[in-house]
Amino acid sequence: MELAGPLLETVKGLWGLASKPVGYIYNLKDNVRLLDEKNKALKSISGDVKTKVEREEVEAHVGPTKQVEDWLGRVQKFFGEVDQILGEARERDEIKCLGRWLPRNCRSSFKLGKRVDQLLNEVGQLQNEREKFIDLTSLLPPPPVLKKPMDKPVGLDISLNKVWKWLVDEKQVGVIGLYGTGGVGKTTLMKRINEELSHANHKFDVVIWVVVSRQVNEDSIQDAIRKRLNIKDESWGGWSQDERINYLWEVLTHKKFVLLIDDVWASMDLSKIGVPRPSFENGSKVVVTTRSEQVCDQMRADRTFEVQCLKFEEAMGLFENNISKLTIHSHPEILELAKDIVGECKGLPLALTTVGRAMANRKKPSEWKHALRMLRNNPYKLSGMEEVYHILEFSYISLNDSTDRLCFLYCCLFPEDYHIGSRDLIELWIGEGLLGDTNDVYNMREKGEYILGSLKMACLLESGHDDDEEEYVKMHDVIRDMAIWIARDHGKNENKLLVIENEEDMSTKGMSKWGEAEKVSLHGKWISNINQAPLACSQLRILIVRDTQVSVLPGGFFNSMTCLMVLDLSNNENIKSFPQEICNLVTLRYLNLSSTCIIGLPMEIRNLTRLRWLLLDTMGHILIPRGAVASLPLNVFSSWESSLENEEEVVEELGRMQGLTDLSIKVNKSSSTLKIFQSFQRCIRRVGIKNCEGLTHIPISHSLKGSGNFSHLEVLKFFGCHMLVKMEINQGIGQAPNCYCFPSLVEVSVFNCGFLDLSWLVHAPKLQSLMVVQCNLMEKIIGDGIAREELAASRLFSRLKFLLINNLPKLRSICDHALLFPQGVEFRILNCPGLKKLPLDSNGMRGSFSIWGAKGWWEEFEWDPAARVTFQPSGMGTVEEMTYGEAARKIKDGNGPINFAWMEFLA
């Protein structure tokens, strides 16, 4: 028994040494199952982490923290090891049969069990680490340089090379000052520096661009810097000003930075915004652009550089960049004159660009001589922004006369980037009397078009076309600023012109400015209420209230406007009642109520004894009392797309107006229609005839001498006149060459009418758009009885741009004779089963034309199969170039449904 105790202790010790290895083997099956479960759980956890990190990366400029990134890497490695172990375990038969008996290969089972045990410990550690994460992501470091958009620079290489040497090579240079006159190219040089920094291996941590401008805003400068340093909004917003300065200072002290500060007008203490001064030790740089050398000195610049005007060769290159070489070489004298003009600009890039653009379309030596003379007689000195305006003002001063200049200044009444309808603008010019005090509105319109052309050629206005292909003009922001400066007596009278786009400017303080104003405009949807009337507006000549949400003008609003000449209330759809006080504006010449919901005019409108323009377009139904407009000296009356309640009375009164020269009207009565075509030949410009019951024909007396011609009629529309079968013109074209009944007609629409044909269109040589829809009786557009020679003399469709014919079941022909259409004409042919061909001559067509037609129509259309076309099935998808024969086969045999097809026949 004495040996039993020691023996038991020895056995216990040996079992302690063997129990863990035996456990690796004995618990292997359970541990593998546990490892698989924990591995799946860890995959879910890591998947959630990845998803959250990826979402935050998309939503903000962030990335995973270093801790998270390391953890995800170790997790991924862990998954690979577990997959290998689990695969090995599945292959071991011993695991399946393991009971109380030891497996045959104890050594390999021991190694496997030990590794499984280690992985179980590791997965627990990884899960514990995840629970300790506070943030999964952190702000990413910003890119060292943000590129700036920049046009191709001219003549900056020498300047760039010098500044670049200071910036990169000379450690002792910390602050660099670039100074020079306005418009000389300082900002352009700074952009070149920024661009070079984006390419070079400069070893700067971050390049920061800040624009200061005249009104220094330290908060915005700090904000621009902290954004480049990727300081979070929530942190920044919670700090005091001192905390912000200290934090910026601390961050920048430990970075090698370049700070590019553009357009500095006064000395800045960089330390007050949190920027440490660059030194030899930190290697940072600050580059400043300014118009004053003194600012460079005050900011203790280590090096200063004057950005000078371009040398002559460089200046000539920049000038030519803004004017085509074709223009310069269009006449032998122009190149020499161009050199003289470039010389007068003294190498100033802003002047070269502005003058170059102003001369871009001038191809007569006389124009260049005039420009050169103007430059030599007005040698402006450039010392600041006003001097830059003077350079810009060259284009303004060089306009033909004071009328052109006044018309240009009118444009700044509209908001920035506003698309000003060209026709509307010219009508406002005429309405105020800028283009002369004459009744001849049409000549004044042509004069307005000429002036508008001059303004665009001078690059004072830009032009474009809206969705309806109507031309508009707009002012570049800088040009507009210059125009406002001029209109306000070169900045000396700030209240002379007011452009209001928000209700805040309609406060008592804002309204007090109206007392000095000569021109006021209110624009935009942000203005919904006008709560008070201006107290005194004795100098106000022009008031434009457009596109607002205003519904009511307060009482007394117009009482003090004793000199008002132009009142434009158009496009205010919430105004429903006519402001009665308008009737007291006895100096008023122009009144525009178009696109309002006013339903009637008062009798007192007859008090406006100087009113020349009355525009009532797109107003729905409107009542004009008998006698209300009869005595007005109107030159222009327009109720286009509006319905007159007492139409016949109004037409009768308009017919007695001796001064009426421009009439646009929509009528619904047969008597009104006949009256217009019998008595308004001299003044009708646009006429719409709608739903005239009982109207069967319109007789027109056409004088060979032209005195009875509709010389100003531009637009003619017929709608729903089912019984109207023809227009009877008593004189044919052939008997009086070049004497047309409708010499100015450009647009004709005929919808759902009884016309048998439209042969009277031979009297419209300038027709550009023709739409004929749902005329069930029409067999031909141009009927029989017109000889080929007469058609040729008429120049029928020679200017046509667009022809739509739709739903004409009996139509067999547009014209029996081939016609010469202009290049680019577009045909749209829909639901006209009897029309098999177009009056086109494949040998005589001038240039390209396009056709949109239904599949069935195309199958009947005949044309040279070798002709080149661009083809687009159903008006959608890819446009392909091929022969007409190939396109026809695609329509007939192509895969998929082709209901319509568009083809352009190439020249």
Of 126-130, 213-217, 362-366, 570-574, the least confident: 213-217
Does 559 score more than 60 pLDDT? yes
Read off the pLDDT band of 894 (50, 70, 90).
Answer: low
Of 372-386, 597-611, 858-872, the least confident: 372-386
Buried b (16+ CB within 10 A) or exposed e, 63-88: bbbeebeebbeebeebeeebeebbeb
Residues 6 or more apart in contact with residue 351 via CB below 8 angstroms: 183, 345, 391, 394
How much is the pLDDT for 220? 84
Does 826 score more than 80 pLDDT? yes
Q: How far is residue 413's CA from residue 543's CA, in Å, rounded to a whole number?
A: 10
Domains observed in the chain:
12-139 (no CATH), 157-306 (3.40.50.300), 310-398 (1.10.8), 668-802 (no CATH), 817-907 (3.30.950)
Chain centroid offset of residue 241 CA? 39
Residue 656 CB neighbours (<10 A): 10
Of 374-383, 536-545, 849-858, the least confident: 374-383
Q: What's the average model confidence in pLDDT over 892-903?
A: 74
Select the more confidently predicted residue: 221 or 477.
221
Q: How far is residue 901's CA from residue 881's CA, in Å, rounded to a whole number?
A: 14
Cα dist from 222 to 7, 60, 248, 300, 566, whole Å: 83, 21, 8, 21, 47
Q: What's the average model confidence in pLDDT over 851-859?
A: 85
When mean pLDDT is compared over 89-93, 462-466, 757-761, 878-882, the highest value belongs to: 757-761
Q: What's the average model confidence in pLDDT over 540-553?
A: 93
3-state secondary structure of 747: strand
How much is the pLDDT for 391? 54
How much is the pLDDT for 585? 95
Backbone phi and psi for residue 697, each to the nearest 5 degrees, phi listed first: -155, 160
Of 75-84, 467-476, 492-501, 735-744, the least confident: 735-744
* Token duo for residue 787: 């000889």
Residue percentage of the chain with pLDDT more than 70:
87
Q: What's the average model confidence in pLDDT over 468-480?
A: 78
How much is the pLDDT for 23? 67
- Written in H, E and C, the secondary structure of 449-510 is HHHHHHHHHCCCCEEEECCCCCEEEECCHHHHHHHHHHHCCCCCCCCCEEEECCHHHHCHHH
How much is the pLDDT for 80? 84
- Give the dihedral sign, CA 97/99/102/107: positive
Buried b (16+ CB within 10 A) or exposed e, 576-592: eebbebbbebeebbbbb
- The greatest distance separating any two alpha carbons of the chain, rounded to the nearest whole angstrom, comes to 154
Residue 401 CB neighbours (<10 A): 8
Four-CA torsion 865, 869, 873, 875, nearest 10 degrees: -140
Does 701 score more than 80 pLDDT? no
Q: How far is residue 561's CA from residue 542's CA, in Å, rounded to a whole number?
A: 10
How much is the pLDDT for 195? 86
Cα dist from 590 to 497, 616, 655, whole Å: 19, 12, 20
Does 97 score more than 50 pLDDT? no
What single DSSP character describes residue 600? B
Q: How far is residue 240's CA from residue 226's CA, in Å, rounded to a whole number?
A: 14
* Token duo for residue 448: 């307005």
Cα dist from 280 to 178, 269, 275, 289, 297, whole Å: 20, 20, 16, 22, 20
Q: What's the average model confidence in pLDDT over 816-822?
A: 87
Q: What's the average model confidence in pLDDT over 419-442?
A: 90
Provide the mean pLDDT of the chain: 83
- Give the dihedral sign, CA 364/366/370/375: positive
Q: What's the average model confidence in pLDDT over 89-109?
A: 58
CA angle in degrees (0–180, nearest 5) for 610-584-621: 80
Read off the pLDDT band of 734 (50, 70, 90).
Answer: very low
Q: How far is residue 838's CA from residue 905's CA, in Å, rounded to a whole number?
A: 13
Nearest Cα residue to 719 out of 681, 764, 672, 754: 754
Upper half-sphere CA count for residue 701 (Cβ side, 13 Å): 10
- Give the dihedral sign, CA 450/542/548/595: negative
- The DSSP code sequence of 147-203 is ----PPP-S-HHHHHHHHIIIII-TT--EEEEE--TTSSHHHHHHHHHHHHHHS---
